């Protein structure tokens, strides 16, 4: 057979089309950017929500309250933003009111703090450590009413939001009756915003306790 005839009769192989290298590079770069953004957001959120942990632990230990509860309250109140002000005059990380701040200053017996709290509560309450200190002090005062009650944290959170007297009223039972459970107490809260506040914080608090076991 003539060589040219052999070549003509041989079938040619179909070659797969090449993927443009620029397309692959763009896809790889996009994937790296997305992963970097996700990791960056995660790390920033970890930093943001835990940068006051040492202050919380120190003040919670002084006032004998659970630091996880304090953390959960700050998460709900301001998401760890010390510059925030509330609609009713609350200030700082734990949304402490000037009234509570003045009560705390009076109890310390330190005249300088009393004068500063009376003259310029904004400056004092915007300081993260001082704000957490006063918030923990207030939680301890509320907890004194509920020392022998189950799920005392639920009452403490309600009292922190709506006032200790309201929390005591919602927690009251008939003479000789057993104390309410936390769920029963929550059902008696007749302020919808406070009920939602308590449920949200207690859910986050329990998740935190379970994660730390």
pLDDT digits (tens, 9 = 90+) for 113-172: 899 999 999 999 999 999 999 999 999 999 999 998 999 999 999 999 999 999 999 999
Backbone angles phi, psi at 96, to 5 degrees: -80, 135
pLDDT for residue 7 is more than 50: no
Whole-number pLDDT of residue 29:
79
For 198, residues 6+ apart whose C-beta sits below 8 A from its C-beta are 154, 157, 158, 161, 186, 189
pLDDT at 16 over 70: no
Q: pTM for the full model?
A: 0.83
* The listed CATH number (2.60.40.10, 1.10.620.20, 1.10.530.10, 1.10.3470.10) that belongs to domain 53-211: 1.10.530.10
For residue 12, pLDDT over 80 is answered with: no
How sure is the predictor about 11, in pLDDT bands with cuts at 50, 70 and 90?
A: low
Domain coordinates in residue numbering, the chain: 22-51, 53-211
């Amino acid at each position: 057979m003539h060589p040219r005839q052999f070549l003509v009769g041989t079938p040619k192989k179909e070659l797969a089309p090449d993927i443009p290298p620029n397309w692959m590079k763009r896809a790889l770069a996009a994937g790296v950017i997305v992963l970097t953004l996700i990791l960056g957001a995660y790390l920033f959120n970890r930093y943001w929500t835990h940068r006051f942990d040492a202050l919380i632990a120190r003040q919670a230990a002084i006032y004998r309250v659970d630091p996880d509860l304090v953390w959960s309250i700050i998460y709900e109140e301001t998401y760890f933003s010390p510059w925030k002000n509330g609609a009713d005059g609350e200030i700082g990380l734990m949304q402490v009111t000037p009234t509570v701040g003045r009560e705390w200053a009076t109890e310390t017996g330190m005249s300088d703090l009393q004068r500063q709290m009376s003259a310029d509560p904004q400056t004092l309450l915007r300081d993260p450590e001082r704000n957490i200190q006063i918030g923990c002090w207030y939680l301890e005062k509320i907890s004194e009413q509920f020392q022998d009650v189950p799920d005392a944290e639920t009452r403490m959170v309600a009292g922190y939001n709506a006032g200790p007297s309201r929390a005591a009223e919602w927690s009251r039972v008939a003479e000789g009756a057993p104390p309410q459970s936390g769920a029963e107490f929550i059902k008696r809260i007749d302020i919808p915003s406070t009920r939602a506040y308590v449920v949200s914080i207690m859910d986050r608090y329990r998740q935190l306790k379970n994660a730390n076991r």
